[in-house]
Amino acid sequence: MKTVKVGLGTCGISAGGEKVFRAFQDELKERPNSFVLQETGCIGMCYREVLVEVSNGSGEPYMYGEITPDRVGQMVEEDLIGGKIIEDWLVTGEGREVGFFENQTRIVLRNCGKIDPGSIEEYIERDGYKGLEKALKNMTPEDVIEQVEKSGLRGRGGGGFPTGMKWKFTRGAKGDKKYIICNADEGDPGAFMDRSVLESDPHSVLEGMAIAAYAIGSDESYIYCRAEYPKAIARLRQAIAQAKQKGFLGEKILGSDFNFTIKIKEGAGAFVCGEETALIHSIEGLRGMPRFRPPFPAISGLWEKPTNINNVETFANVPWIITNGGEAYAKYGTEDSKGTKVFAMAGKVKRTGLVEVPMGVTIKEVVFDICGGIIDDNELKAVQMGGPSGGCIPASMCDIPIDYQQINKTGAIMGSGGLIVMDSTTCMVDVARFFLTFTQEESCGKCTFCRIGTKRMLEILVRITMGEGTMADLDNLEELSGQIKNASLCGLGQTAPNPVLTTLKYFREEYVAHIEDKKCPAHECSALLTYTINDKCTGCVVCAKACPTEAITGEKKQLHTVHQDQCIKCGKCYTVCRFDAVEKV
């Protein structure tokens, strides 16, 4: 009997996955025992959702993409009952998009899209909780920390601090009570790595946290997850209950003297709470604002007790490291950046979704070899790495390896793993404006330079995109950037100018064009656009009907005209024209 797994991560659900799942349930009612239906999480191929995997228990499973409810009946009739694979719907197999998976090394994502996230039994079948059992029965806390240090694992939340060293500091700190915190407050635009792991493989995070707690001497922990992730929170609650029932959480875990509990704290969506001291304040019931350091959380954190904080991806690596050994993990990556890194691919790339690659591969390898290149085969212009805290790396530098040191040299940062791909249709000035709008709105307001400085920078960027900037504005942007970086208390303010500084560094000519020529080279800044109608116009009058200000006139079946004094540059004429007759310059 064949098994059918429907991808029900957030990406799958948003594409209609729940309707597809219900359609399979209806088929099962009509044909009982004809197949086994299960749900799974996100396998990373978000661009082909809804994904449905079929397996008969022998041989390689295969996957169908872009499944809709009206395709389910045909799939059941022809494949699940008739035994005939529907070739046109396949996304995996010989000659198809195998490069997406073949060029990856999946450690964090090892179970994502493979198991039912609601089944602890399936997690255990794939070596789940073996790392915790090994740690408790065969290793001392010092042994565990030593293996994490040997692995070279660095924090995947953005800072890249050595994980083993952080654990050692917390273990050595004085205190009768110590805490573990999992930072799941993922807030970067375009980032969805942590959410997908929590939705698809929650037990790997719980197991990593339990191993960390054993290593540092903690018996209590929190997962700080933003409330905008309801599916992740629901699956975490279910996984915690299952782990307690199986004896992997609670008291006397696996017959040892180790006790450990996990609580969930739902965040209200403040980006600044991704900063560890602001996060701690939020758990304590205070306003989420950063505090001065030192002391660092490893010495005085949650309720002034020694506290270890790592993010979701960091913890998800730990069970694999303990099970397979630190040296096995260190075989991947570079001298300074070991292991693998998960990236959320978004923007002008053909294959959007989640990928996991060894440190040391180049950005171009990720964009072209794994993700299939740029939409419409346009040229790669730049990538934004690290979200609002990161920077824009031009195509000319995308041959550099993905490595903490190498990425930092460009002016960007690795960040948590959001990677937004841009082509020639992207305005880099507008990109800087977008990210600064985000950080300005998310500033907690504690630091004057962050609160006021980002506001002044944003005002300048808005003026430039409106064609009202001056060359002196560029000097002011650079001066303000330096002041904000140096005078801000936390990482939000210290990195907020990065998108502006990197676009000024690598795409200064676009700023100059906006200021001196009053033109946007990418034809994106609406205030600097002029809409005209060329000889391809058939006089269909569709554009005239769509124009909200009646700025387009002309007889039916005759060439139309845009009256510039009435045009509000909304772009509706450009959008509705089917003959490429409307141009924007």
CB 314 within 8 A of CB 153: yes
pLDDT score, position 93: 66
pLDDT score, position 525: 93
What domains lie within the chain, and their CATH numbers?
A: 3-102 (3.40.30.10), 120-330 (3.40.50.11540), 340-423 (3.10.20.600), 428-517 (1.20.1440.230), 529-584 (3.30.70.20)
pTM given for the model: 0.93
Positions of the chain with pLDDT under 50: none
Q: Is 217 left (phi over 0), alpha (psi -120 to 50) or beta?
A: left
Planar angle of CA 236, 312, 328, nearest 5 degrees: 120
Strand, coil or helix: 582? strand
Q: Which two tokens stand for residue 549?
A: 């200000």
Q: Which of 44, 4, 32 is nearest to 20 (CA)?
A: 4
pLDDT score, position 413: 87
CA distance 523 to 95: 38
Task: Say which residue the tokens 């009982």 belong to.
Answer: 32
CA distance 21 to 43: 17
**pLDDT tens, position by position, 429-460:** 999 999 999 999 999 999 999 999 999 999 99
- Strands ordered across the beta sheet of 220-226: 261-267, 220-226, 179-184, 307-311
CA distance 355 to 311: 18
| Cβ-based neighbour number of residue 47 at 10 Å | 20
pLDDT score, position 290: 93
| Cβ-based neighbour number of residue 457 at 10 Å | 24
pLDDT score, position 95: 54
Instruction: Show the beta-strand stretches assigned E in 283-329.
Output: 307-311
* Sign of the Cα pseudo-torsion (317, 323, 325, 331, in order): negative
What is the β-pairing status of strands 261-267 and 220-226?
A: parallel
**pLDDT tens, position by position, 310-352:** 999 999 999 999 999 999 999 999 999 999 999 999 999 999 9
Q: Which two tokens stand for residue 380?
A: 């790669």
CA distance 280 to 301: 7
CA distance 382 to 427: 11
Kind plus residue range of the DSSP H or E element containing 267: strand 261-267
CB 237 within 8 A of CB 196: no
